[in-house]
Amino acid sequence: MSSGTRVLVLNAGSSSVKYQLIDMLDGSRLASGLVERIGEANGRLVHTPRSGSKRESLEVFPDHAAALKSVAEELAADGVGLDSPELAVIGHRVVHGGLRFTAPTLVTEEVLAEVRRLVPVAPLHNPANITGIEVARSLRPDLPQVAVFDTAFHATMPEHAARYAIDKAVADEHRVRRYGFHGTSHQYVSRATAALLGKDPAEINVIVLHLGNGGSASAVAGGVCVDTSMGLTPLEGLVMGTRSGDVDPGVVFHLHRVGGLTIDEIDSLLNRRSGLLGLCGDNDMREILRRAEQGDADAKLAFDTYVHRLRKYIGAYYAVLGRVDAIAFTAGVGENAAPVRAAATAGLEELGIAVDAELNSVRSGEARVISPGYARVTVAVVPTDEELEIARQAFALVHTSS
């Protein structure tokens, strides 16, 4: 087994690959970057070395293999190439692990076949993740490849939280149940929140609000996920940048039967043209806050709808947990949008929840408490780091299985 300490983390999407090379000695980034628009005429690679300035190359990347080859060249140019003996493992983000993969998993042919079998429940994500693994394997066939699943942290949800109340036989036949996503982030943030409080994760109950372009909430009891807002797919739950979150399933029947939309059109409507974008034409919270400030009614309604849903989940997960020690805001909106944090927690003093306006307005990349000292529940901003968590899990797996 390699004595190296570096982990390459790959997050392969349908037309993009994000990567980070992390040194596990201190968690530092040796390089990071992104290849966009793979398979299109106007591909782009942006590479950020540890020192020195970003490098951008505009070229056509016909497929993921071409993209990863260019990434390998960029890394080699920095002296941290894939052939280095320092590289211990490649960690892959894999979106859907179904019921089988509830922990980081060493990739074998059999594992890949099972991830392929899950494509029908994650048609947008798993195929790209599989391609990323196959290409990385062809570049370094001797190196362990570890899959870290977005669904894994949620596998501890009790059956009554994971089930939809539909015919059990139909649900079982088609593997219809709530899996949840963003698990790596919920896991990282719930632990980082415990660290911020100076507690062991097993001692505290946390509501994690991951608010990025996609968004999800989770209820974590003693370090274990007991409920989360995304379901069979990432469409359920909170209002997101372009996804509707919760809607009455009857909306789908209505749009089809009365509105004449096809199933694919409704899928696209709910996933790509709904949420904040559907409500006001913008999906970037910065723009929505700016427009709302200027009195724009659509932007104000989008903000209010977003916050209302968030408050409903805070209330729901308070009841699920019974006792809440902390609420953690994370990801692009959660870490940066003070007005969202303020509005989501306003008027909840009876529940022991309060946010201090001054602490809430502090801008920082560090984990920080924003509730006043007297509040029973600690409200915190806890930056997420999914890549570091993937690297940790992949590295730990190859070291314990050796």
Stretch near ligand ADP under the rule CB under 6 A, chosen from 51-59, 190-198, 330-338, 344-352: 330-338
Residue with tokens 């308070």: 318
Stretch near ligand ADP under the rule CB under 6 A, chosen from 61-69, 121-129, 281-289, 316-324: 281-289
Kindly state whether residue 302 participates in binding ligand ADP, applying the rule CB under 6 A: no
Backbone φ and ψ for 316, nearest 5 degrees, come out as -65, -45
Can you list the positions of beta strands (E) in 119-269?
145-149, 205-211, 215-221, 224-228
Cross-strand bridge partners of residue 228: 218
Kindly state whether residue 332 participates in binding ligand ADP, applying the rule CB under 6 A: yes
Task: Compute the residue count for the chain.
Answer: 402
- At its nearest, how many Å lie between ligand ADP and the CB of residue 374? 28
- At its nearest, how many Å lie between ligand ADP and the CB of residue 168? 34
Kindly state whether residue 337 participates in binding ligand ADP, applying the rule CB under 6 A: yes
Find the binder of ligand ADP among 284, 312, 351, 367 (CB under 6 A). Answer: 284
Kindly state whether residue 241 participates in binding ligand ADP, applying the rule CB under 6 A: yes
Kindly state whether residue 275 participates in binding ligand ADP, applying the rule CB under 6 A: no
Nearer to ligand ADP, 325 or 387 (CB): 387
Find the binder of ligand ADP among 285, 328, 344, 370 (CB under 6 A). Answer: 285
- At its nearest, how many Å lie between ligand ADP and the CB of residue 400? 29
Nearer to ligand ADP, 117 or 286 (CB): 286
Instruction: Show which residues are catalytic.
Output: 150
331: left (phi over 0), alpha (psi -120 to 50) or beta: left
DSSP 320-331: HHSS--EEEEEH
Q: Please, what is the angle between helix 126-139 and helix 109-117, to 10°?
A: 160
**Of 211-230, which residues contact ligand ADP (CB under 6 A)?**
212-214
β-strands 224-228, 205-211 pairing: unpaired
Find the binder of ligand ADP among 122, 194, 331, 377 (CB under 6 A). Answer: 331
Find the binder of ligand ADP among 286, 290, 308, 376 (CB under 6 A). Answer: 286
Number of residues located near ligand ADP, criterion CB under 6 A: 12
**Structural contact between residues 87 and 4, judged by C-beta atoms closer than 8 angstroms:** yes
Alpha-carbon distance 279 to 293, whole Å? Answer: 16
Strand arrangement, sheet containing 205-211:
224-228, 215-221, 205-211, 326-330, 378-381, 368-369
Can you list the positions of beta strands (E) in 168-281?
205-211, 215-221, 224-228
- At its nearest, how many Å lie between ligand ADP and the CB of residue 267? 19
CB proximity list for 256: less than 8 A, separation 6 or greater: 262, 263, 266
Stretch near ligand ADP under the rule CB under 6 A, chosen from 39-47, 164-172, 206-214, 290-298: 206-214
Find the binder of ligand ADP among 336, 342, 351, 356 (CB under 6 A). Answer: 336
Number of H helices, E strands in the chain: 15, 14
The site for ligand ADP (CB under 6 A) is made up of 212-214, 241, 284-286, 331-333, 336-337
